[in-house]
Structure 1
């Protein structure tokens, strides 16, 4: 029988991410697995959306980065609060391109499974789009469960 010890669950606050967490919790409960809840801030993508804005001294990009970090950590805290007390959980905040960053986290924690939503909130509010789930399934060395 297949067992899972470490499950990576990307989150961006979207409904698909919440459904993915529900599935990850069910798998974790049956396997007594640890959840690694991950939020990736794609700051380069967010800043590129402001390419018509004059940036004096990098203030705008610095403020965007700070706001994204604050928002990402709030999302992680909200998700962790929803996890039952008997489930082991770690929260991880990363900055970078979501697909490669998720795979790096999975490798770092020796993940047995990645459970993620198929689409997120969009490029500004959310970071896990269909292309990210496609990237992760194509490049992951562990099984990936995509939740619609």
Structure 2
């Protein structure tokens, strides 16, 4: 039925439910998982410090350079934390017998999910839904809506729930 399941993971708390649903589907069908975290434009904007010392030249004083260095150190810390979370998800899925790998990339989440599903030959995409409607959905956009309409395979939407129980041992820093 499903051999390859692509799982879109973001930094929301709903990602835990997305992950657990995907692992359950993979265990049931014997599928492999590919976990994907896309650094969206909002996150990407946070990756760029507000100044570039190469362009500023001699106008920079030590306090600005120190702020710049602190900013980069924080970005590196956040990146290491994201990688730690992704590795812990792979470890948790593998521990219950599901072949799992992960990737992280910059880009538009919807397009990136659909493109990876195509190139990886996914049979199913599992993605969460924030439950946005009306004006909020129009302004903020809906990754799940984009994926539904552009995916090269079936899509399973996991709606946001308040269920916090977990049968998998996973780092809670989503």
Q: TM-score range by the shorter chain?
A: 0.7 to 0.9
Root-mean-square deviation (CA, aligned residues, Å) is 2.9
Runs (5+) with no aligned partner, structure 2 = 55-67, 132-139, 160-174
Partner of residue 40 from structure 1, selected from 26, 34, 38: 38
Residues 1:73 and 2:70 are matched in the alignment: no
**TM-fit CA distance, 1:111:** 0.2
Once the 2 structures are TM-superposed, how far is the Cα of residue 56 of structure 1 from its aligned partner?
A: 2.9
Larger Rg: 2
Contact 2:3 2:30 survives alignment (8 Å): yes
More helix by share: 2
Query: Counterpart in 1 of 2:102?
Result: 91
Q: TM-score, normalised by structure 2?
A: 0.65
Q: Distance in 2 between matches of 1:6 and 1:33?
A: 5
Taking the aligned partners of 1:6 and 1:50, their CA distance within structure 2 comes to: 31
Match of 2:112 among 101, 104, 109: 101
Question: Please, what TM-score do these two structures have when normalized by structure 1?
Answer: 0.75
SS of 1:91's partner is: strand
Q: Secondary structure at the match of 1:15?
A: coil
How far apart in 1 are the matches of 2:16 and 2:76?
A: 24
Which consecutive residues of structure 1, in runs of 5 or more, have no partner in the other structure?
121-128
CA contact (8 A) 2:94 2:100 kept: no
When the two structures are aligned, how many residues end up with a matched partner? Answer: 135
SS at match of 1:137: helix
